A and B are shown apart, each in its own frame.
Chain A
Amino acid sequence: MAKTILIVDDSASLRQVVSIALKGAGYDVIEGCDGKDALAKLNGQKVHLIISDVNMPNMDGITFVKEVKQLPAYKFTPIIMLTTESQEAKKAEGQAAGAKAWVVKPFQPQQMLTAVSKLILP
Chain B
Amino acid sequence: MRSSATFPYFATPFGLGLLAAGLLLGLAGADAVNLGVAATLALLGGLAGRWLSGRHGAALAETTAARADVEALTGRLAGAQAHVDSVLALGDDLAPVWARQIETGRAQMEQAITGLTGDFAGIVQSLDAAVRASSAAGGDAGQDLAGVFARSETNLGRVVESLHGAVRHKEETMAEIKTLLDFIGELQQMAAAVAGIADQTNLLALNAAIEAARAGEAGRGFAVVADEVRKLSTLSKETGNRISAKVDTINTAITGAVRAAEQTAASDAQAFDTAGASIHAVLADFRGLAEGLAESSGILRRESEDIQARIAGALVQLQFQDRVSQILSHARDNIASLPGYIQAGGTDVHADGGVRAIDTARLLADLERTYAMAEERSNHDGDTSGADDSEITFF
Residues in A lying within 8 Å of B, measured CB to CB: 9, 11-14, 16-17, 19-21, 23-24, 54-55, 83-87, 91, 94-95, 99-111, 115, 118
Contact = CB atoms under 8 A, between A and B. Distances in A.
A101 B392 contact: yes
Interface of B: 110, 113-114, 116-118, 120-121, 124-125, 128, 308, 311-312, 315-323, 325-326, 372-374, 387-388, 390-395
Given A11-B110, A17-B315, 18 more contacts: A11-B321, A13-B114, A13-B318, A16-B118, A17-B318, A17-B319, A20-B311, A21-B315, A24-B128, A24-B308, A83-B372, A85-B373, A86-B388, A101-B392, A102-B393, A106-B320, A106-B387, A115-B392
Contacts of B320: 106
B322 A14 contact: yes
Contacts of B390: 103-108, 111
Contact of B326 (A55, A86, A100, A118): A55
A83 B388 CA distance: 12
B308 to A, nearest CB: 8
Nearest to B124: A20
B323 A13 contact: no
Nearest to A23: B125
Q: B110, B315, B317: which has the most chain A beta carbons within 10 Å?
A: B315
A84 B318 contact: no
B79 to A, nearest CB: 45
Contacts of B395: 94-95, 99-102
B394 A100 contact: yes
A14 B319 contact: yes
Contacts of A95: 395
A57 B292 CA distance: 56
Given A101-B393, A106-B320, A20 B315 contact: yes
Contact of B322 (A11, A94, A101): A11
A12 B322 CA distance: 9
A32 to B, nearest CB: 16
Contacts of B125: 23
A99 B91 CA distance: 42
